[in-house]
Amino acid sequence: MNQAHVEFVLRIADDSLILGHRLSEWCGHGPVLEEDIAMTNIALDLIGQATSLLNHAATLQGEGKTGDDLAFLRFDREYRNLLLVEQPNGDFGMTMMRQFLFDAYRTILFERMQSSSDEMIAAIAEKSLKETKYHLKHSSEWVIRLGDGTEESHARIQESLNTLWRYANELFYTDAVDDEMRNAGILPDLSDLRQQWENTVNHVFQEATLTIPSNNWKQEGGRKGMHSEHLGYILAEMQYMQRAYPNMEW
């Protein structure tokens, strides 16, 4: 078992798992019925991605665990998701801004990962890319609509950007795990990933008449298991049934 390989898969899986759970909180609470359904479907896409990736990580570990074990029976310090995806939903604008920053990154990542030497990762990336392109279209259109809308909608989406921008830098966090995965051909060259992401983000923000915050305050730590207080509340809700009734099945 290659520990770096497992770590890499868990990072991608946990991003999908935690953001999927966050979006699921909108079910029944969307601003309009169409958006309620859209966000629920995106949440299902993300949970589907997480399921495939966590099952793959469990297989790579070879310890007899399942994808469900990794989803429901780890402690908060064992999760490797970005801080961005665990942030509270806030209002609809906050949710769309969080989603857009993530979608713009994930679309490019999945495009590149289709050429991974890990055939399972390549297959998951190919399938997930189709979903993620829709996610990006959905979130970017809402960012533009809110930013270039009313005075109030503009103020709210700008405040969402001001709040979440500090977490964007972690999208491009790299360490020895990434180096090892690149050398093995599992993770393709992502040297220009940030530039492509910035091109997408800047184009949408220009249309939305939004201004990127000028401060350089950056927060990271999720990739190493150092999370905000918000993850603990997510896990308390998400893991309750498996911890209260171990090994239960429907």
Distance between CA 30 and CA 92 in Å, rounded? 8
Mean pLDDT value across the chain: 94
- Give 129's contacts (C-beta < 8 A, 6+ positions apart): 107, 110, 111, 114
Judged against a pLDDT cut of 70, whether residue 1 lies above it is answered with no
* C-beta atoms surrounding 80 within 10 Å: 22
Percent of the chain with pLDDT over 70: 99
Distance between CA 181 and CA 9 in Å, rounded? 10
Q: Which two tokens stand for residue 232?
A: 């603990």
pLDDT digits (tens, 9 = 90+) for 3-34: 999 999 999 999 999 999 999 999 998 888 88
Distance between CA 121 and CA 113 in Å, rounded? 7
pLDDT at site 190: 79
Rounded to the nearest 10 degrees, the angle between the axes of helix 151-164 and helix 92-113 is 50
Mean pLDDT of 36-54: 96
Percent of the chain with pLDDT over 90: 88
Q: Which two tokens stand for residue 220?
A: 């990271």
pLDDT at site 249: 74
More confident residue, 215 or 97: 97
Please say whether the dihedral angle defined by the alpha carbons of residues 218, 44, 105 and 143, taken in this order, is positive or negative. negative
Residue 114: φ, ψ to 5°: -65, -20
Q: How confident is residue 188, by pLDDT bands cut at 50, 70 and 90?
A: confident
Distance between CA 181 and CA 187 in Å, rounded? 5
198 closest CA partner among 178, 180, 171, 219: 171
Mean pLDDT of 73-101: 97
SS3 74: coil
Which residue ranges form the domains of the chain, and what is each CATH number? 3-244 (1.20.1260.10)
pLDDT at site 248: 77
194 closest CA partner among 135, 112, 128: 112
Mean pLDDT of 163-182: 95
